[in-house]
Amino acid sequence: MRIIQYVILPSFLIIFSFWYLCPLFNNLPHPTGPYCVGYIRLDWYDQYASQDINVEIFYPSVRPKKEEIQFPCQPQKMTALSRIKAENSVLPLWAWDYLLNNIFSYAEPNAPIE
């Protein structure tokens, strides 16, 4: 009985509160307009400042918003971020992959422009 009281119940409460409070598990907001959202990512290099410039442009797409499809939220960035976090934290790579690859957005990459 003590194992339930001192181990299982507190563990469950910690895991549930982490799941409830952590923004990684909350869905991103739905788009409110009549069309779906598209985005394009542009990568430029500034020769004078010797740095990369990453630009993401969001726009209304041609597809009407009849159904809301979820897309992985910036998969290239999430893969790189999970590797960096695994190197600099206690959690292993598979845990960061699970946490960061379950974030979805309603913005469709390279969608046709309205």
- Confirm if 71 and 60 have CB atoms less than 8 A apart: no
pLDDT one-digit tens code per residue, 12-66:
777 766 666 565 555 667 788 888 888 888 989 989 988 999 898 988 888 777 7
Cα–Cα distance measured from residue 35 to residue 65, given in angstroms and rounded to the nearest whole number = 5
Q: How is the chain split into domains, by residue range?
A: 27-109
First to last CA, the chain: 63
Both tokens of residue 110? 């390279």
User: What is the share, in percent, of the chain residues with pLDDT greater than 70?
Assistant: 78
Amino acid at 11: S
For the question of whether the overall pTM of this predicted structure is more than 0.85, the answer is no
Count the alpha carbons within 13 Å of 70 in the hemisphere toward its beta carbon: 11
Q: Which residues pair with 107 in a beta bridge?
A: 37
Query: Mean pLDDT across the stretch 69-92?
Result: 83
